[in-house]
């Protein structure tokens, strides 16, 4: 099997195209849920489909005992109706019952899933074959999807994309400023109803591929991954669809490989859970490694900032005392870190010395003077403009001296009329020139 066989081979193409096209509308709907802070509603509504699926399979088995696709259609219709009922109950509990949103969502999730489990248990004795079909929809069976399912998901993807494309600006206002959208006369109720309709449609149709239990992961994970890379809505939709499609393809690819090369009793990876695992991997990796929001890069920026603050504090200490002796070689971790800081300052050309005694170079003196100037300007601003007591301004200035920009320094200088002394009557250094 080569790469293109996944898209062209009659055995594999149904699952590949079906899962890939299923992931796109689900991921796009996930962006709307994420931005509206309603991600848990996807979990509740997906579980709320269970009683509808069980009843739909039962009625389909009675009316069309030999027509598998008609039974599937009946189950999907039942799932849609059931999830719609769950949505209405959630809305009623929040508005009329004054129940908190999280409580209403958890109540509907457990209630509907419990009802579905009871009906499915009774169904096991009445319609054993129907029970097996319910189990298929409970956990998904993407590997058996056909071209019919691919066409169904393609149609849903086109509808969702057309909705987001045609109503992009109103949707943007609806997501970020609901009061403005209402005041501007935008069709807020239409957008809300269409959004929930497409959400229910994505949930019910997606159940065939990843199942009731995991469908909410297909909605949330790509949106979470995409959110770490952008603050703009249009790229967020594109990235979410990309992560969703990539998760579906890779999950299906790993499942196909395990099924193709597995022999005997070798375990084959289930397609639906594999898709969710890949999507979860993308989400976790993005949370850790995204350049702007990723935890690793944020921790790196924090470490660099703290290192810069330590360098500036060392320069300021030497500036105040003309030269300083640092007993750095005494075996402690702190002294080893200080030795590294002093080595960096020497490499930058800001200090010079040996044997533990250091003094500032010309560039180092300019740099230290700039830090002291910012510290004392901020102290004067707090005391004279904001009325802080002199005894309480030093600690705040110790923090602000490292983050004040040249523009803020210039504005402080103009506001304070180019002062020469701080509130403690210490001289404020002039603005340094030519810092190295």
Euclidean distance between CA atoms 342 and 323, whole angstroms: 13
Q: Are the beta carbons of 142 and 15 closer than 8 angstroms? A: yes
Residue 206: per-residue pLDDT: 85
* Alpha carbon separation from 252 to 16, 146, 202, 241, 398 (Å, rounded): 6, 14, 19, 16, 56
Tell me the two tokens of residue 51: 């009683």
Q: Directed axis angle between helix 128-139 and helix 50-63, to 10°? A: 140
Q: Are the beta carbons of 358 and 324 closer than 8 angstroms? A: yes
Tens digit of pLDDT at every position of the chain (436 positions): 566 767 777 777 888 888 899 999 999 999 999 998 888 888 898 889 888 888 888 777 677 656 556 777 788 888 899 999 999 999 999 888 888 888 999 999 999 989 988 888 877 776 666 667 777 777 777 777 878 888 889 999 999 999 999 999 999 999 998 888 888 888 999 999 999 999 999 988 888 788 887 888 889 999 999 999 999 999 999 999 999 999 999 988 888 776 666 544 456 678 888 889 999 999 999 999 999 899 999 999 999 999 999 999 999 988 888 767 666 555 455 567 788 888 899 899 998 887 678 888 989 999 999 999 999 999 999 998 888 888 889 889 999 999 999 999 999 999 999 999 988 888 999 887 655 4
Tell me the two tokens of residue 434: 């030519």
Q: How many CB atoms lie within 10 A of CB 225?
A: 28
CA neighbor of 143 nearest in space, from 56, 253, 241, 246: 253
Q: CA 177, 178, 179, 184 torsion: positive or negative?
A: positive
Residue 264: per-residue pLDDT: 46
Q: CA 163, 212, 40, 252 torsion: positive or negative?
A: negative
Residue 59: per-residue pLDDT: 79
Residue 66: per-residue pLDDT: 60
Q: What b-and-e string marks burial along 228-266, b requiring 16 or more CB atoms within 10 Å of the CB?
A: bbbeebeebbebbbbbbbbbbbbbbbbbbebbeeeeeee
| SS3 of residue 194 by DSSP | helix
* Alpha carbon separation from 348 to 341, 362, 425 (Å, rounded): 11, 12, 32
What's the DSSP call for residue 13?
H
Residue 74: per-residue pLDDT: 80
DSSP string of 271-328, one letter each residue: HHHHHHHHHHHHHHHHHHH-TTT-HHHHHHHHHHHHHHHHHHHHHHHHHHHSEEE---
Class of residue 10 by CB neighbours under 10 A (exposed 0-12, middle 13-18, buried 19+)? exposed
* Alpha carbon separation from 293 to 46, 76, 93, 242, 307 (Å, rounded): 30, 39, 36, 19, 20
Question: Could you give all domains of the chain from N- to C-terminal order, each with its CATH number?
Answer: 5-293 (1.10.3470.10), 301-436 (1.10.10.10)
| SS3 of residue 90 by DSSP | helix
Quick: pLDDT tens for 31-86: 999 998 888 888 898 889 888 888 888 777 677 656 556 777 788 888 899 999 99
Residue 436: per-residue pLDDT: 43
Euclidean distance between CA atoms 62 and 185, whole angstroms: 49
Distance of CA 209 to the CA centre of its chain: 24
């Amino acid at each position: 099997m080569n790469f293109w066989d996944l898209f062209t081979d009659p055995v594999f193409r149904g699952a590949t195209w079906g899962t890939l096209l299923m992931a796109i509308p689900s991921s796009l709907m996930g962006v709307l849920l994420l931005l509206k802070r309603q991600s848990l509603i996807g979990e509740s509504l997906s579980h709320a489909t269970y009683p509808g699926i069980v009843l739909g399979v039962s009625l389909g088995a009675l009316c069309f005992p030999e027509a598998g696709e008609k039974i599937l259609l009946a189950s999907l219709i039942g799932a849609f109706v059931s999830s719609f009922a769950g949505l209405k109950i959630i809305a009623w509990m929040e508005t009329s019952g004054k129940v908190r949103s999280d409580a209403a969502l958890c109540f509907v999730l457990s209630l509907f899933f419990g009802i579905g489990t009871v009906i499915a248990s009774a169904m096991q004795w009445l319609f054993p074959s129907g029970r097996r079909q319910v189990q298929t929809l409970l956990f998904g069976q993407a590997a058996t999807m056909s071209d019919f399912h691919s066409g169904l998901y393609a149609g849903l993807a086109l509808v969702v994309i057309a909705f987001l494309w045609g109503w992009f600006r109103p949707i943007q206002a609806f997501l970020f400023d609901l009061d403005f959208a209402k005041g501007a006369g935008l069709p807020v109720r239409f957008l809300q109803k269409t959004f929930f309709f497409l959400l229910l449609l994505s949930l019910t149709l997606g159940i065939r591929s990843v199942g009731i239990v995991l469908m909410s992961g297909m909605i949330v994970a790509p949106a979470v991954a995409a959110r770490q890379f952008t603050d703009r809505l249009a790229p967020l939709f594109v990235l979410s669809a990309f992560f969703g499609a990539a998760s579906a393809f890779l999950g299906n690819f790993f499942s196909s490989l395990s099924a193709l090369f597995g022999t005997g009793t070798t375990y084959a990876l289930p397609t639906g859970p594999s898709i969710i695992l890949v999507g979860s991997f993308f989400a976790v990796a993005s949370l850790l490694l995204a350049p702007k929001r990723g935890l690793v890069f944020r921790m790196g920026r924090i470490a660099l900032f703290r290192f810069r603050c330590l360098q500036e504090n060392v320069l300021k200490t030497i500036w105040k005392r003309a030269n300083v002796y640092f007993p750095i070689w005494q075996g402690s971790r702190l002294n080893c870190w200080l030795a590294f800081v002093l080595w960096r300052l020497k490499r930058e050309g800001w200090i010079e010395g040996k044997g533990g005694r250091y003094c500032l170079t010309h560039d180092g003196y300019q740099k230290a003077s700039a830090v002291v100037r910012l510290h004392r300007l901020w102290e004067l601003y707090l005391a004279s403009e904001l009325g802080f007591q002199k005894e309480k301004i030093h600690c705040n200035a110790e923090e602000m001296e490292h983050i004040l920009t040249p523009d803020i320094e210039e504005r402080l200088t103009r506001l304070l009329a180019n002062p020469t002394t701080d509130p403690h009557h210490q001289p404020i250094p002039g603005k340094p020139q030519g810092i190295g």
